[in-house]
């Protein structure tokens, strides 16, 4: 077998891999679309305008934070707690960006676009691929394909949900108020992987409920950041001891 | 400009800054153990707090209504490894059914 044959085998393999990545990216886009419809509908029935709802999907473009912002505002929480909860949830994207930067190697305008597409789905699809054997080619394609696919489907779905919301009438009849916590538990579910994460999660839930009658809506959720800080300090201290 | 507009703008700027920051900051800041541990725990704490509040709170009151049934259905769907879409739809449908049948408000 000559070197040339090996090369063309590699290219054939790449063609197949490339197609699989694009198909997967489209699949992820379709999956988040349903969530996007519920975001659009919940946001508009909760009192945001169609324009505000759409701008969140286009410019904020990180589902958990969008739902948090809208959820806290709908619940009557103030501006500050809505923004703080939303931004703190979006902070995880900074770590995704940190993981993606050495693989993407982008600068200037491309970096600005890559930053916007740095979310749960695009990072998960990209980091699942080894960068050693192909210098990150598949990983980069997975990132861009998934990011663009999710962006397009998420925004179309938001518009559909936002425009359809007015036709729905009372969101409670359709159980849309129950869709919000269901969306949050589905988002956190993959992270509840061990006893420690369950302890953090259930403690935070309990703290939020205990504080709910005492403080303005939105503030109890915000204060559970203290639970995360305490868990972090404990983990670092325990590791230092061992 | 309304408070809602300010919330939309400020939170959008904050979330984008987090994304761009991760692409731009020196690794050593984000790789400090405490920063990493806290940021692993932060989404778990905030999301579970949101689950609790969005299920049991109406304003500052704690109530039991059809959302609890919806959340229960969502957990069952997750245990059965249902995809995201199914989890959300099942929760909404369950809450809607409980209200329709008069089992919960």
Say whether pLDDT at A5 is over 50.
no
Q: What is the pLDDT of residue A3?
A: 45
Q: What is the pLDDT of residue A8?
A: 66
Find the CB nearest A191 among B5, B10, B44.
Answer: B44
Q: Specify the pTM.
A: 0.81
Whether the Cβ atoms of residue A207 and residue A224 lie closer than 8 Å to each other: yes
Find the CB nearest A225 among B46, B74, B78.
Answer: B46
Say whether pLDDT at A209 is over 80.
yes
- How many domains are there within chain A? 2
What does the H/E/C string look like for chain A?
CCHHHHHHHHHHHHHHHHHHHHHHHHHHHHHHHHHHHHHHHHHHHCCCCHHHHHHHHHHHCCHHHHHHHHHHHHCCCCHHHHHHHHHHHHCHHHHHHHHHHHHHCCCHHHHHHHHHCCCHHHHHHHHCCCCCCCCCHHHHHHHHHHHHHHHHHHHHHHHHHHHHHHHHCCCCCCCHHHHHHHHHHHHHHHHCCCHHHHHHHHHHHHHHHHHCCCCCCCHHHHHCHHHHHHHHHHHHHHHHHC
Q: Percentage of chain A with pLDDT > 70?
A: 95
A238 and A125 within one domain? no
Say whether pLDDT at A14 is over 90.
no
Inter-chain touch B48–A188, beta carbons under 8 Å: yes
Q: Percentage of chain A with pLDDT > 90?
A: 53
A233 and A203 within one domain? yes
- How many domains are there within chain B? 1
Look up the ipTM and state it. 0.89
Q: Per residue in A20-66, pLDDT tens? A: 899 889 988 887 887 888 899 889 988 999 999 999 999 999 998 99
Residue B70 lies in a domain: yes
Residue B22 lies in a domain: no
Inter-chain touch B12–A192, beta carbons under 8 Å: no
Q: What is the pLDDT of residue A7?
A: 56
Q: By residue range, what is the domain housing residue A239?
A: 193-242
- pLDDT (average), residues B92-102: 95
A140 and A93 within one domain? yes
Q: What is the pLDDT of residue A34?
A: 76
Say whether pLDDT at A6 is over 60.
no
A90 and A183 within one domain? yes
A197 and A186 within one domain? no
Inter-chain touch A38–B88, beta carbons under 8 Å: yes
Residue B30 lies in a domain: no
Residue B74 lies in a domain: yes
Inter-chain touch B11–A86, beta carbons under 8 Å: yes
- pLDDT (average), residues B20-39: 83
In chain A, which residues have their Cβ closer than 8 Å to the Cβ of B45?
200-201, 203-204, 224-225, 227-228, 231
Find the CB nearest B34 among A67, A206, A236.
Answer: A236
A168 and A219 within one domain? no
Using 50, 70 and 90 to split pLDDT, how confident is the model at B29? confident
Inter-chain touch A52–B61, beta carbons under 8 Å: no
CA distance A108 to chain B (A): 11
Find the CB nearest A212 among B62, B70, B75.
Answer: B62
Residue B102 lies in a domain: yes
Residue B34 lies in a domain: no
A48 and A143 within one domain? yes
Q: By residue range, what is the domain housing residue B97?
A: 64-105
A42 and A14 within one domain? yes
A186 and A239 within one domain? no
Q: Per residue in A60-114, pLDDT tens? A: 999 989 999 999 998 888 899 999 999 998 988 998 898 888 889 899 999 999 9
């Amino acid at each position: 077998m000559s070197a040339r044959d090996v090369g063309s085998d590699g290219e054939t393999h790449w063609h197949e891999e490339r197609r699989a990545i694009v198909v997967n990216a489209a699949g992820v886009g379709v999956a988040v679309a349903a969530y996007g419809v519920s975001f659009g509908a919940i946001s508009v029935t909760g009192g945001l305008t169609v324009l505000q709802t759409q701008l969140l999907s286009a410019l904020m473009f990180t589902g958990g934070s969008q739902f948090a912002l809208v959820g806290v505002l709908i619940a009557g929480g103030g501006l500050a707690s809505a923004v703080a909860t939303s931004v703190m949830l979006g902070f995880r994207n900074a770590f995704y960006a940190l993981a993606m930067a050495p693989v993407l190697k982008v600068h200037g305008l491309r970096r600005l676009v890559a930053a916007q597409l740095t979310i749960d789905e695009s990072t998960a699809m990209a980091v699942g691929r080894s960068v050693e054997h192909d210098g990150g080619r598949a990983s980069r394609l997975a990132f861009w394909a998934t990011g663009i696919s999710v962006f397009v489907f998420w925004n179309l779905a938001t518009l559909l949900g936002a425009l359809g919301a007015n036709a729905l009438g009372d969101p409670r009849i359709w159980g849309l108020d129950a869709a919000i916590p269901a969306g949050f538990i589905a988002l956190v579910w993959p992270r509840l992987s061990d006893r420690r994460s369950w302890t953090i999660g259930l403690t935070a839930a309990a703290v939020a409920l205990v504080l709910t009658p005492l403080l303005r809506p939105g503030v109890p959720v915000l204060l559970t950041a203290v639970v995360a800080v305490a868990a972090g300090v404990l983990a670092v201290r325990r590791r230092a001891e061992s | 400009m309304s408070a809602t507009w300010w919330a939309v703008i400020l939170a959008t700027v904050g979330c984008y800054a987090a994304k761009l920051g991760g692409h731009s900051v020196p690794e050593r800041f984000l790789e400090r153990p405490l920063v990493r541990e806290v940021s692993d725990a932060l989404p778990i704490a905030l999301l579970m707090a949101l689950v609790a509040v969005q299920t049991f709170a109406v304003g500052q009151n704690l109530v039991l209504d059809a959302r609890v049934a919806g959340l229960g259905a969502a957990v069952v769907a997750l245990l059965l490894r249902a995809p995201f879409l199914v989890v959300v739809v099942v929760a909404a449908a369950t809450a809607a059914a409980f209200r329709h049948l008069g089992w919960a408000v």
